[in-house]
Amino acid sequence: MPAIPLAEAGRALDGLDPLVLFSDVDGTLVGRGGSLLSDLDGEPSLDAARALVAARRAGLEVVLVSGRTRSQLFEACRLLGLRDAIGELGTVLIHDREVELQWGAAPRDLGPTPADALDSSGALGTVLDEFAGRIEPHAPWHQGREGTALLRGQVDVAEVDAVLAAKGYGWARLKDNGRLRGPYPHLGDGETHALHLLPDGVSKATTAAAYLARRRHQPRTAAAVGDGPADLEIAEAVGATFLVANGAWAAGVDAGREVIVTPSSAGSGFAEVVTALAGGTKIER
């Protein structure tokens, strides 16, 4: 996607009437260790917390959009004073604390959840067997999932999808949910990424669009911020898309709509997005 520095994004924000900000969590809203009060280096920071308060005062509703599970997002929303969320890359929609699973192309006769279908069908086992030594469950966070199988690895997503299709699992696909900080040398010499195996036809964008329709909002009333390729999918459903600085690399992954890149990383970058959307009011630091 064409990348625009936030300082030059005036034209890209024309016509936007922001009521909703879809925000990724890890690496975007929170810093090292998943802390709202830390930056990516683990240094104390109140930027994201102040931005959440500023957003609420400005009438900008923050909706968490994450690879996290239902229970993780329920707790995060409770602690942050938020209401709605989209979990597991779009397969879990939480609205007014009610949960609706998004099945996409997954067969519904293979288990009570899409995650069960991925496992019982053999799709998950195929990925782990065919790419053994390069991909594995992202323990311990792979447990308790309803919509996706959470993995970590150093694989080419298109190559995995091709194998799935050849083995009869064309209804499943692998999505890259961003880089991991920790070293995983047993998986290879390159960067290890968080990866989700999920049903085709489900994405952050499709579920965000469904959420906005339920709220009777137009795309121009929503924006999104994230730090990885999976976050950019949501551009299809909103009026403006942002990447925090630590996710700027993702802008080159795919051509398409323009994306605005903040000067700062993680929580400080999130705060810069809120400032840009909330009438330009500067958030005190």
Q: Residue 281: what pLDDT?
A: 46
The pTM is what?
A: 0.88
Q: Residue 166: what pLDDT?
A: 98
For range 172-180, the mean pLDDT: 90
Q: In the chain, what percentage of residues exceed pLDDT 70?
A: 96
70-74, 137-141, 226-230, 272-276: least confidently modelled range? 226-230
Q: Residue 1: what pLDDT?
A: 63
User: What DSSP character marks residue 11?
Assistant: G
Report CA dihedral (219, 13, 273, 80) to the nearest 10 degrees: -30
* Beta sheet of 193-199, edge-to-edge order: 135-137, 149-153, 193-199, 172-179
Can you tell me the distance from the alpha carbon of 65 to that of 226, in angstroms, rounded to the nearest whole number? 9
Q: Residue 280: what pLDDT?
A: 53
Q: Residue 29: what pLDDT?
A: 97
Query: Residue 46 burial (CB < 10 Å; 0-12/13-18/19+)?
Result: middle
User: Over 70: is that where the pLDDT of 170 sits?
Assistant: yes
Q: Residue 285: what pLDDT?
A: 41
